[in-house]
Amino acid sequence: MTPARPPHAAAPASRARRLALLAPLAAAGLLPLADAVHAQGFPARPMRLVISVPPGGAGDFTARVVAAKMAEFVGQNVLVEARVGAGGIVASEYVAKATGDGHTLMLSSSTTHGAAPVLYRKLPYDPIGDFSHIAGISLLPAMMAINAEVPAKTVKEFIALTRANPGKYMFSSSGNGSAPQLFGEQFKIRTGANLTHVPYKGSGPAVVDLASGAVHMMMDGLPSLINQIKSGRLRPLAAMADKRFDVFPDVPTIAEAGFPGLEDGVWYGLSAPRGVPAPIVDQLSKLAARVITSPDVRDRFATVGGLPMVMGPKEYLAFIQRENRKWGEIVRAAKVVAD
């Protein structure tokens, strides 16, 4: 005798019929995203958002803001997991080898997928083919900041100081081949500043040494620098953006400081292992867009000068490939060498 099914359990045929009815509505945008996702049985368990940086930097800030909102929308925990090392290679390899079911995601970035593919001759993964690149997340225009004890009040004064004291002044970054290093190398090429690069394992420790005076300048996303600027230990010289940061309205843009064309910043997106089914990629892309255009997330981004970067899978992949070409030119011109 077949056991009776509990009254609340839907028959397999009924569930299949319900999904068949919901699918067209979800595709047409007539169901809320969370309902559409759950109608497809995804996510079936807590998700992981892997980051390549330690706490205290722009990547950590972005991941935690995004993960919290994703969890709210999908009804599952989204755990931020740091796998730090080798300019993002450790995290990238880990995600590339994970199961492609959509439950493991990576906060891909200007370092992991913009610079690393052109900096390292051989990677243990294909940065394009081994990933499902899902969506753009945010752009954080960089801020140029110096230690407050450096006797310069403007970008031009700082450049003159470095030229007059060859070998004395140093700029820090979150690691060899990181976006902050490439910002600094580009700055040196364009301006003739005499600066020596000092790499760190993440923006957090790089900023600590900048604030102490062990190094003298850094260009990074504002989340990494903002607390030390507000404390007075760092002096902001220029927003590497096309408009001033709302939080520091008296700090000129790099163009206003006399160097147009140096606008740049750190960017972040969502990537997953290759093989994620197309419907789940589509659901994740829509989820990302909903997250980053939510008023509270936009407000959190705005506190550090961040901008939502709304890109679907095709747009985000094309963007990564353009960044590879751009940074490839800087890497070759500056003879940047990875660890």
Q: What is the arithmetic mean of pLDDT over 221-241?
A: 94
- The whole-number pLDDT of residue 40 equals 61
Q: Which two tokens stand for residue 306?
A: 């961040």
Give the confidence band of 111 by pLDDT, cuts at 50, 70, 90. confident
Check whether 11 has a pLDDT greater than 70.
no
Report if residue 16 sits inside a domain. Answer: no
Pairing of strands 131-147, 217-221: antiparallel
Q: How many domains does the chain have?
A: 2
Instruction: Give the tens place of pLDDT for each residue, 268-277.
Output: 999 999 999 9
C-alpha torsion sign, points 168, 171, 176, 179? negative
Give the confidence band of 9 by pLDDT, cuts at 50, 70, 90. very low
Report if residue 257 sits inside a domain. Answer: no
For 305: left if phi > 0, alpha if psi spans -120 to 50, otherwise beta; the answer is: left
Do 270 and 320 lie in one domain? The reply is yes
Do 151 and 120 lie in one domain? The reply is no
CATH number reported for the structural domain that contains residue 43 in this entry = 3.40.190.150
Do 195 and 270 lie in one domain? The reply is no
Report if residue 179 sits inside a domain. Answer: yes
Do 155 and 127 lie in one domain? The reply is no
Q: What is the arithmetic mean of pLDDT over 220-228?
A: 91
Do 234 and 163 lie in one domain? The reply is yes
For 86: left if phi > 0, alpha if psi spans -120 to 50, otherwise beta; the answer is: left
CATH number reported for the structural domain that contains residue 206 in this entry = 3.40.190.10
- The whole-number pLDDT of residue 177 equals 79
Report if residue 249 sits inside a domain. Answer: no
Give the confidence band of 339 by pLDDT, cuts at 50, 70, 90. low
Instruction: Give the tens place of pLDDT for each residue, 16-56.
Output: 444 444 444 444 444 444 444 444 689 999 999 999 988 87
Instruction: Give the tens place of pLDDT for each residue, 77-105.
Output: 999 999 988 878 999 999 999 999 999 99
Report if residue 252 sits inside a domain. Answer: no
Do 214 and 303 lie in one domain? The reply is no
Contact of 171 with 217, CB cutoff 8 Å: yes
Check whether 187 has a pLDDT greater than 80.
yes
- The whole-number pLDDT of residue 26 equals 45
| Residue, of 10 and 59, whose pLDDT is higher | 59
Report if residue 158 sits inside a domain. Answer: yes
- Identify the domain boundary among 240, 255, 275: 240
- The whole-number pLDDT of residue 29 equals 45
Instruction: Give the tens place of pLDDT for each residue, 294-320.
Output: 999 999 998 888 889 999 999 999 999
Run of H or E including 53: none
Domain that residue 99 falls in = 35-140+265-334
Do 219 and 289 lie in one domain? The reply is no
Contacts of 91 (CB under 8 A, 6+ apart): 50, 51, 52, 82, 83, 84, 85, 106, 112
Closest residue by Cα to residue 196 from 275, 156, 179, 187:
187
Closest residue by Cα to residue 202 from 319, 301, 303, 109:
109
Report if residue 7 sits inside a domain. Answer: no
Average pLDDT, the chain: 88
